[in-house]
Amino acid sequence: MPHALTLNAGSSSLKFGYFQLRDDGADPEARIVGLVERIGAGERAHIRARGPDGTVLVDEEFGRNHVPDHAAALGEVVAFLRAQRPDARFAAVGHRVVHGGPDFDAPVELTDEVMQRLAEFQPLAPLHQPHNLSGVRAAFDLFPDAVQVACFDTAFHRHHPWVNDTFAIPRKYYDQGVRRYGFHGLSYDYIAGKLAEIAPHLHMGRTIVAHLGNGASMCGLMGGRSVASSMGFTALDGLPMGTRCGQLDPGVLLYMLQTEGMSAAEIQDLLYKESGLLGLSELSNDMRTLEAAAKDNERAREAIAYFVFRIRRELGALAAALGGLSTLIFTGGIGENSAHIREKVCAGMDWIGMELDEGRNQRGEQLISTDFSRVRILVIPTNEELVIARAARDMVAERKDAAE
């Protein structure tokens, strides 16, 4: 059977998945999932991967400078996969691309023309888009015969109502593509599909999904479709994140420019790399570190408190946009693993119909609301790689049908 490779390139990491494509159209089967992290000149990159049963297949650190860029990281991934599966035939490579701009609202086969257009969106996602496209170029070189498929984080949100899609600035900017795009769409796509599978009656209702991780956002769904998102034109807006600021008065930027004399590049670095949980705590961007330090570190406690406050504020705003709420879903690294954050978010939310079951929450069960809660509260692990693999499968099938 043919196989697909999924690639999710971050600023210094490369997530990958090795999937078997089925002839019957069923979901691709994950055979290997892994990550190369600490990519970059002067760094000691690290690769780890697991099989479908959780067995560790590799957990190794490379020498310094051995993996200076994403092309080198992909080379190591391919060498590892070919050693594990020498008979693998890659029919497709699926890529997570953060920004599809106003043009792309569905997965698309990557061509030179599409790549040129996507490169124009790099200023809209400077931490992600350049690395996403770097991974694509490396995959073109290594797999010249495979179908290369782009899956966009913005695509899931491209049919928002106009009032949730625009800013109150001159309309010419909207026509130029300055609008609210929303992100984490691959995660929301998976969660919407999973909810339809496990609880169809909830899927048809009003749902808020909290994707909480180093990157964090929230999305309001009506019948599984995105109605409103906390993120906007770039991946800076909305909730505070590991190193990103979240919602910010534009006047702060004017202050930095006019009073502080900062350059655009300096402001970009501050907002993307020095803010969020790291900037508030002056300790770490990792919630696990902050929770461990919170007992003795006031700034760690304050960073956590601000993170929770903004989630609760966005929860109320999205419930208003939806006209009510039937389901709240936690996902992402923090959402899936931090019972403490879930508890703080839900505390005192009985006014909106939420009642958390402390025992279920601490045990990390899928349903963590009480039996009497009007709003169902769920924890559902996300799976962006599977969404990418599905798109790769569909593109391979389309090519096959066109050739027949």
Do 147 and 192 belong to one domain? no
Q: What is the pLDDT of residues 313-345, one digit of tens each?
A: 999 999 999 999 999 999 999 999 999 999 999
Do 129 and 259 belong to one domain? no
Mean pLDDT, rounded, for 67-80 = 92
- 137 in a domain, yes or no? yes
Do 260 and 367 belong to one domain? yes
* pLDDT > 80? residue 11: no
At 402, is the pLDDT very low, low, confident or very high (cuts 50, 70, 90)?
confident
- 67 in a domain, yes or no? yes
Mean pLDDT, rounded, for 4-11 = 88
- 9 in a domain, yes or no? yes
Domain harbouring 256, CATH code: 3.30.420.40
* pLDDT > 80? residue 44: yes
Do 357 and 271 belong to one domain? yes
Q: Among all residues, which ones are annotated catalytic? A: 153
- 258 in a domain, yes or no? yes
Do 196 and 49 belong to one domain? no
* pLDDT > 80? residue 289: yes
Q: What is the pLDDT of residues 100-157, one digit of tens each?
A: 999 999 999 999 999 999 999 988 888 789 888 988 998 999 999 999 999 999 999 9
What is the domain extent for residue 311?
185-379
Do 90 and 199 belong to one domain? no
Residue 386 structure tokens: 């599977």
pLDDT (0 to 100) of residue 244: 95
Q: Which of 172, 203, 205 is nearest to 190 (CA)?
A: 203
Do 193 and 318 belong to one domain? yes
Q: Which residue has the higher pLDDT, 310 or 89?
A: 310
- 211 in a domain, yes or no? yes
Do 135 and 190 belong to one domain? no
- How many distinct structural domains can be found in the chain? 2
Only one residue has tokens 């990390």, namely 364
Q: Which of 211, 199, 212 is nearest to 376 (CA)?
A: 199
Do 331 and 283 belong to one domain? yes
- 172 in a domain, yes or no? no
pLDDT (0 to 100) of residue 202: 97
Q: Which of 52, 27, 365 is nearest to 193 (CA)?
A: 27
Give me the long-range contacts of 49-58 (CB less than 8 A, separation at least 24).
49/16, 49/80, 57/32, 57/84, 58/34
Mean pLDDT, rounded, for 350-357 = 97
At 22, is the pLDDT very low, low, confident or very high (cuts 50, 70, 90)?
confident
Give me the percent of the chain exceeding a pLDDT of 90.
Answer: 85
Q: Look up the pTM and report it.
A: 0.94
Only one residue has tokens 């001159």, namely 170
Cβ atoms 342, 335 nearer than 8 A: yes
Do 231 and 349 belong to one domain? yes
Decide: helix, strand or coil at residue 338.
coil
Amino acid of residue 296 = D
Residue that is last in its domain, among 152, 168, 195: 152
Do 143 and 34 belong to one domain? yes
* Other Cβ atoms within 10 Å of 304 Cβ, number: 22
* pLDDT > 80? residue 392: yes
Q: What is the pLDDT of residues 213-248, one digit of tens each?
A: 989 999 999 999 999 999 999 999 999 999 999 999
* Neighbouring residues of 331: CB distance < 8 A, sequence distance ≥ 6: 187, 191, 209, 210, 211, 212, 379, 380, 381, 382
At 280, is the pLDDT very low, low, confident or very high (cuts 50, 70, 90)?
very high
At 87, is the pLDDT very low, low, confident or very high (cuts 50, 70, 90)?
confident
Do 189 and 320 belong to one domain? yes
- 164 in a domain, yes or no? no
- 176 in a domain, yes or no? no
